[in-house]
Structure 1
Amino acid sequence: MLWLTISCFSYAGTEQPTGGSYGLALDPVPTVNFVFLTPANAQQQQAKDIVQHSSILTTVRQLSQTRYVFAPSLDIVFGSTKGPNFDSTQNEIQIPYQYITQLLQHVAKTTPYTTQQQRYQATTDALLLTLLHEIGHAYILDRAIPILGNNETMVDNFVTILLLNDIDRGDEIAINSNQLFSIHAINDTPLSNNLFIQQHSLSQQRYQHILCLVYGSDPTRYQPLLDALPLVQQQQRQCNDIYSTTHQGWLYYLDI
Structure 2
Amino acid sequence: MGKLLGVLSGICGLGLAFSAQAVVTNQFIEPQTRQETQAYRLIKVIEPQIQLLYQALPLQSKLTVVYGAQDGPLFDPEVMQIQIPYHFVTEVLNRFSKDDYQQTGVTPKQATQDALLHTLGHEYGHAYIYANEVIVLGREEDAVDTLATLLLINAFEEGAEIALSAADLFALEDEEIDELMVDDFSDEHSLDVQRYHATLCLIYGSDPKQYAGLLADSAQREDRALMCQQEYQRQSDNWDRLIRRNSN
TM over 0.5: yes
Structure 2 alignment gaps of length 5 or more? 1-18, 179-186
In structure 2, the residue matched to 1:20 is none
Q: Structure 1 residue 74: deviation in Å?
A: 0.9
> Are 1:50 and 2:42 matched, yes or no?
yes
In structure 2, the residue matched to 1:159 is 148
What TM-score, normalized to structure 1?
Answer: 0.75
- Inter-partner Cα distance in structure 2 for 1:202 and 1:140: 22
CA contact (8 A) 1:80 1:95 kept: yes
Higher strand share: 1
**3-state SS of 2:102 partner:** coil
Q: Structure 1 residue 35: deviation in Å?
A: 0.4
In structure 2, the residue matched to 1:121 is 110
After superposition, where does 1:1-256 map in structure 2 within 5 Å? 29-52=21-44, 54-55=45-46, 57-65=47-55, 67-113=56-102, 118-182=107-171, 183-187=173-177, 200=189, 202-228=191-217, 231-254=220-243
CA contact (8 A) 1:39 1:45 kept: yes
Kindly report the root-mean-square deviation, in angstroms, between the aligned alpha carbons of the 2 structures.
2.6
- Inter-partner Cα distance in structure 1 for 2:95 and 2:188: 17
CA contact (8 A) 1:108 1:119 kept: yes
**3-state SS of 1:51 partner:** helix
Sort the Cα spacing of 1:211 and 1:42 in 2 relative to 1 into closer, same or farther, 3 A. closer
Tell me which of the two structures has the higher relative contact order, counting C-alpha pairs closer than 8 angstroms and 6 or more residues apart: 2
For 1:38, the aligned partner's letter is E
**3-state SS of 2:209 partner:** helix
- Provide, for residues 40-93 of structure 1, a one-character-per-residue CA deviation record: whole Å limited to 9, x for no partner: 2232222111211x22x112211222x212242210000111111111101000
Structure 1 alignment gaps of length 5 or more? 1-26, 189-197
Larger Rg: 1
- Inter-partner Cα distance in structure 2 for 1:132 and 1:203: 17
Q: How many equivalent residue pairs? A: 216
CA contact (8 A) 2:64 2:81 kept: yes
**3-state SS of 2:161 partner:** helix
- Inter-partner Cα distance in structure 2 for 1:81 and 1:50: 18
What TM-score, normalized to structure 2?
Answer: 0.77
Sort the Cα spacing of 1:46 and 1:229 in 2 relative to 1 into closer, same or farther, 3 A. farther
Q: Structure 1 residue 164: deviation in Å?
A: 1.3
CA contact (8 A) 2:111 2:165 kept: no
Q: Structure 1 residue 227: deviation in Å?
A: 4.9
- Inter-partner Cα distance in structure 2 for 1:83 and 1:230: 40
CA contact (8 A) 1:86 1:94 kept: yes
Sort the Cα spacing of 1:41 and 1:216 in 2 relative to 1 into closer, same or farther, 3 A. closer
In structure 2, the residue matched to 1:6 is none
